[in-house]
Structure 1
Amino acid sequence: MKRREAREKAFQFLFQIDINDEVDNHIVQDYLEEQNNDKFLKQLIEGVMDKKQEVDDTISRHLENWSLDRLASVERTALRLAAFEIEYLDDIPTNVSINEAVELANRYGDEKSGKFINGVLSKIVQK
């Protein structure tokens, strides 16, 4: 599976978890098995879930006039995915993480989602 596809699948899975606000480890493992245990997909899903509090704290520090729980699930999920990549995956160029998150936000969010994501992630990178 290509990284772009893995990111999109991770985004979709993490979005569902965000909406349902519950996660069972069996669900995660079943999903990963369905996706042939793709290494990058697993790294993204498990990484975001394991580091959720740290990632959320990073995002929250860079939001202006917003709180994380006020964001739509699309934006929150795209930010979590990209912030995790930026903070914890050194082998991925920052601009790739930002561009992929913006594309996901544009595809699944509204017309302003991509710009919002780009702005927040740019602030995280400038820290």
Structure 2
Amino acid sequence: MAITRHQTREKAFQTLFALAGNPEADMSTLYDNVLEDVILEQKDGIDVLPTYLETLVSGVLAHKADLEIKISQYLADGWTFARLAQSDRIILEIAFFELNYVDQEIVPAKVAVNEALNLAKTFSDERSRKFINGVLDKALN
């Protein structure tokens, strides 16, 4: 069974979180570590990295500065992007990347928001989930 989009987002979160702690980490090693519990498709006997995982991780990294600007405009007065918890930042970066750089026919806005809230349930707490929901709600309206 192929890895689901939800699992792919979880693995992207884990990869980006690990990179935030160690920006010099080897990407191949990070991918191996986060995907160790996943059965991957193979081509010629070699595991194939899920395409959407690469899209999310490389996309968030390539657009990091722009994503920070986009997210910052929806934060409450007195809050800065740097002040956010690392997990909340990464969840918002993934969501804003999907909202701004992925074709809405592939990932509708509603799906991107729902997936961000699911990531918050898994990797954050209830307060952060509500915060993330509020930021994404402002961004969509």
Please confirm whether the aligned pair reaches a TM-score higher than 0.5, indicating the same fold: yes
Name the CA shift for 1:11/1:61 in 2 (closer, same or farther; >3 Å).
same
* Alpha-carbon distance, 1:115 to partner: 0.9
Contact kept? 1:32, 1:38, Cα under 8 Å: no
Which amino acid is 2:98 matched to? E
Contact kept? 1:19, 1:73, Cα under 8 Å: no
Partner of 1:94: 109
SS in 1 for 2:126: coil
Per-residue CA distance 1:27-72 (angstroms, 9 max, x = gap): 2244446753110000000000000011111000110131111111
TM-score in terms of structure 2 length: 0.80
Which amino acid is 1:12 matched to? Q
Cα separation, 2, equivalents of 1:33 and 1:104: 21
Which amino acid is 1:110 matched to? D
Aligned equivalent of 2:90, options 77, 82, 89: 77
SS in 1 for 2:49: coil
Q: Which protein has the bigger helix share?
A: 1
Gaps of 5+ in 2: 36-47
TM-score in terms of structure 1 length: 0.88
Q: Which of the two has higher C-alpha Rg?
A: 2
* Aligned counterparts, 1:1-127, within 5 A: 1-20=3-22, 22-24=23-25, 27-32=26-31, 35=35, 36-65=48-77, 66-90=79-103, 91-126=106-141
User: What is the root-mean-square deviation of aligned Cα atoms in Å?
Assistant: 1.6
Task: List 4+ stretches of structure 1 deviating above 3 A.
Answer: 29-35
Cα separation, 1, equivalents of 2:32 and 2:15: 13
SS in 2 for 1:84: helix
Gaps of 5+ in 1: none
Contact kept? 2:98, 2:107, Cα under 8 Å: yes
Cα separation, 1, equivalents of 2:87 and 2:31: 21
